[in-house]
Amino acid sequence: MKELIEQFVTNITTYLTALGPISGIILILLESVFPILPLSVFIALNIIAFGNLFGYLISLGSTILGCLGSFFLFRSCFQKKLYQYIKKREIDGLDKMMKTISEISFSNLVLLIAIPFSPAFLINIAAGLSKVSKEKFFFALLIGKSVMVYFWGYIGKSFIESLTDITILIRISVLLLISLILSRIVEKKMKVR
């Protein structure tokens, strides 16, 4: 079974390498459109096919583009209609929920995005429908997705090893802490609220 999986991964990464970086970008963008697809697998394949740094950068850039695309789609097509619907029907619960999402702190948004198991498509939709500023969402994506892609790169290369190797878990915890600190600094300097 192990040989079969290794052969499958070798075939896929050879195919990706032959097609070039655009294939890795397309994989990640497809996941943005169809969230049922496994982002972790695509990130791992990019890192295996294109190397640690270049595979990481392809995955990071692509996932940020996909998230921004989803954010702007819901912002431009559905946000105004949602708020008109809330106002017309006087739905307090939905209005309060949208207000809570709109007022999420920058640090909490970064951490929410950085958590590898959080549903990115729901975060993108909620942020797009809310009144979260474009700048706040972009900077939160930049910081949070950096950690998330790093996490999935390690996990994808060796799921069991990553969960049992304390040094990898410590690195990821340190990166989450750095993300929190960095988000607080950006929040104060850029006055992103």
| Cβ count within 10 A of residue 152 | 24
Summarize pLDDT for 3-33 with one digit per residue, the tens: 666 677 777 778 788 888 898 899 899 888 8
Summarize pLDDT for 125-173 with one digit per residue, the tens: 899 989 899 999 999 999 999 999 998 887 776 654 555 567 777 887 8
| Cβ count within 10 A of residue 53 | 9
The helix or strand, by DSSP H or E, that contains position 67, with its residue range, turns out to be helix 52-77
**Is 53's pLDDT higher than 80?**
yes
Cα 74 to Cα 15, 94, 112, 152, 177, distances in angstroms: 34, 17, 19, 26, 30
* Amino acid at the residue 100: T
**Stronger pLDDT, 95 or 129, i.e. the higher one:** 129
Which 8-state DSSP code applies to residue 131? Answer: T
* pLDDT score at 163: 52
* pLDDT score at 35: 83
Structure tokens at 146: 């950096």
Distance CA 67, CA 62 (A): 9
The whole-number average pLDDT for the span 55-68 is 94
pTM of the predicted protein model = 0.76
* pLDDT score at 160: 46
**Is 38's pLDDT higher than 90?**
no
